[in-house]
Amino acid sequence: MKRILVALCGVFLSTSLASAAVYLDGMAAYTDAGDAETMIGFGAGVGFQASDNINIFIRGLKHSKTEDADTADETEYGHDMILGVFEYAYTFPTVPFRWITSAGLGMSKTGVEQKSTLTELDETGIAFGIWTGFLWMATQHISPYIQAGYHHSMYVKDFEGENIGGYQVLFGVRFTLFDRNRSIDSDY
């Protein structure tokens, strides 16, 4: 999974460096994974500007949670996602904000391990998500953002018939590595 992410990042970076802005995102996520519990996660993304209002990203998130730690009933939950994300960014003309709406499709891996019953469920499947929110262009190269949305994962073995999905809130910072967020002489 890590090799796929590194290879895709290399492809995106090599094709986009000549003509477009390149972005690096760091994010935290509060994710409701349905039957796999609500978890906190962290992740990163890399992307490029395909046109004035369209960005394309590869985004990875890793979530985990432990219930009843250090007891006989300890349960560990995990939910990882790697998605290709298509983002539309509307720039407001007189303020340094963008309304960003994203849709992603990719893969997820969910795991539940119960120590008391020695049960371990672990499966990789298909995932999708949609989000919307605001991005603040704080400087020419740094932009914090918040997005809220819905994600869902589909499985065919261990989690077949289970609801692995729900709301998701992303808090992130976008670094513009090449090009810039706005002109020095912009009105805001």
Give the pLDDT of the chain (188 residues) as one tens digit per residue.
667 666 666 665 555 455 678 999 999 999 998 888 899 999 999 999 998 899 999 999 999 999 988 888 899 999 999 999 999 999 898 899 999 999 999 999 999 998 888 888 899 999 999 999 999 999 888 999 999 999 999 999 888 888 899 999 999 999 998 776 655 445 54
Give the angle 99-16-151 at the CA atoms, nearest 5°.
45
Does the predicted TM-score (pTM) go above 0.75? Answer: yes
pLDDT tens readout for residues 104-153: 999 999 999 988 888 888 999 999 999 999 999 998 889 999 999 999 99
Q: What is the DSSP string of 53-115?
A: SEEEEEEEEEEEEEESTTSTT-EEEEEEEEEEEEEEEEEPSSSSEEEEEEEEEEEEEEEEEET
Residue 159: the pLDDT is 87
Task: Assess contact for 65 and 38: CB atoms under 8 A.
Answer: yes
Strand-pairing partners, residue 7, are none
User: Which domains can be identified in the chain, with CATH numbers?
Assistant: 2-178 (2.40.160.20)
